[in-house]
A and B are shown apart, each in its own frame.
Chain A
Amino acid sequence: MDFLQYFIDGLYIGAIYAIIALGYTMVYGIAKMLNFAHGDVIMVGAYMSYTFVSASGMPVYLSIPIAMVICTVLGIVIEGLAYKPLRGTSSLAVLITAIGVSYFLQNAAQLIWGPAEIGFNRLVNAKPFLLFDGKLRVSPEAMVTLAIAVVIMVALTTFVNRTQTGKAMRAVAEDRDAAQLMGINVNRTISITFAIGSALAAVAGVLLCSKVQSVSPTVGSMPGIRAFTAAVFGGIGSIPGAMLGGMLLGLIETLTGAFISTQFSDAIVFLILIIVLLVKPAGLLGKQVQEKV
């Protein structure tokens, strides 16, 4: 029964990682860059939700759309100001800029909301379901989080496969120059990708802070790095891969923490990552790309 309990907890945090990982993987797949500021967009989303909830007393779920809109705009602005001018330069320059953006967001948040942790309201205020005579506790919030993650994944997959904008995204992901010569506006497509990734970050931010019940300027960094790991684990660039990677990472982290050692849980997570990448360098669901010579 303990195992089942930890399994559910693992899925809960895993679902949050998965939503963050989806943002990483979409941006990487289409813009071919690692947006290390993604974790901090999550933090901004959470603060936005907090601000609106504490100012107007609205329930947390109503603040999600507002946070999404603000983060979408933020994502487009970051992309336009910081990354677009560097398109076509070395990927290292873009990577370092992303780290710079990350620090900028963290410090801006510190200036606005202060460095201390602030309490965050729960998304769902309901008693956990007790199963098997109270031996198994399933919080409604965990279920809502899981459901949101699944809905997001299905919606994203449909969007990318079925819509014309989605097709343009896949075309840009596969061959940017050829896509351009088919009349696809690459800059616009990349902006849309950032917009979607940032909207997802806002959702993840609210879910994450609702789970830990606090928000601070660095709340997004560690989950951001874990989710990035999850995206690589599942195969970066792949939407189902990000989902699977996030869930697995959450499970491994929780189960090793519970049954082996909390102190070593991170070490074990990354050890497993290294082993997976040694065996399958493209990640679990990633496509093995043969370099043409």
Chain B
Amino acid sequence: MSDYSKKILRVPTYSLLREQDADKQPVLVANNLGIDFGGLTAVDSFNIAIGPTEISGLIGPNGAGKTTIFNLLTGVYQPTRGAVLLKGIDTKGMQPSKVTRMGIARTFQNIRLFTDMTAKDNVKVGMHKDIRCSFFSSLLRLPSYYKSERAADEKAMELLEFMGLADVADVKAGSLPYGVQRRLEIARALATDPAILLLDEPAAGMNPSETAELTAQIRRIRDTFQIAVFLIEHDMNLVMNVCEAIAVVNYGKIIAKGTPDEIKNDPAVIEAYLGKKEES
């Protein structure tokens, strides 16, 4: 299980946190992962290992298969080849809800909040697995109902506060501004108590100051909850700033892995983004 050649980051370096990670089993491993849709190979030989407190990124041109990879990791798609190991357990054949309860949470590229519910209720939906309260005790309002309801309320408010959303707790999610909705999605994902948080283009549609705030927030999430963050993002500023390790995909395959500096200077990456230099 300590196959660190597969870890995104080959050498743990400057961050203390990642040195902590170095002798721990990765929280998420994709082993030779691949999926075909009909005759089309969307993702192929995708290998990755993410440390328990690592912030890593997945970048690549549009249509490279990034969201497909997220869908494979969260159990929305069943892989054609290979395996996903979450905390060392193969998730093959599991329902996405089961995979989520095992410790993976995500946000969506196009925000998918429950627009009819308040911000607080959205977070509480995320806490679904924690709240063990039977149908009857909630209908009859037994003390256990109030107890679990109060605990849920407190935890939801804590998370909202952490994401700077305390003042919109009772506002319907659908009527919140875009940037706020993105943060609420992260709060809802955190409510599932994940070991790894997947963010699908968290900065999409944000202005530069919001993006800067988000960058700091992502670090704070990792530091506070001691969890791993794996994000898809097109905003290179954010990616290079916050990610300790980056994997680049194109046409469903990893073309480069490394630190931000390594990625910036990788000829394969430059080619994928800017096209091949003409030989003349």
Contact = CB atoms under 8 A, between A and B. Distances in A.
Contact of B100 (A163, A164, A181): A181
Looking at chain B's contact residues, is the secondary structure mostly helix, strand, loop, or mixed? helix
A183 interface: yes
A165 B115 CA distance: 18
Contact of B116 (A168, A174, A180): A174
B117 interface: yes
Contacts of A155: 139
B96 A170 contact: no
B95 A164 contact: no
A184 B130 CA distance: 11
A182 B95 contact: no
A118 B192 CA distance: 54
A3 interface: no
A185 B97 contact: yes
B106 interface: yes
B78 interface: no
Interface residues of B, number: 36
Interface in B172-223: 188-189, 191-192
A164 B133 contact: yes
Given A163-B138, A164-B133, A182 B126 contact: yes
Interface in B90-143: 95-98, 100-101, 105-106, 108, 112-117, 121, 124-126, 128-129, 131, 133, 135, 138-139
A158 to B, nearest CB: 8
18 contacts: A159-B138, A163-B133, A163-B138, A164-B124, A165-B135, A165-B138, A170-B117, A174-B116, A175-B112, A177-B112, A178-B112, A179-B125, A181-B76, A181-B96, A181-B100, A184-B97, A187-B95, A192-B135
Interface of B: 74, 76, 95-98, 100-101, 105-106, 108, 112-117, 121, 124-126, 128-129, 131, 133, 135, 138-139, 145, 148-149, 152, 188-189, 191-192
Interface of A: 155, 159, 162-165, 167-168, 170-171, 174-175, 177-187, 192, 287
Those 5 A-B pairs whose CB atoms lie nearest each other, nearest first: A183-B100, A163-B138, A178-B112, A164-B131, A180-B96
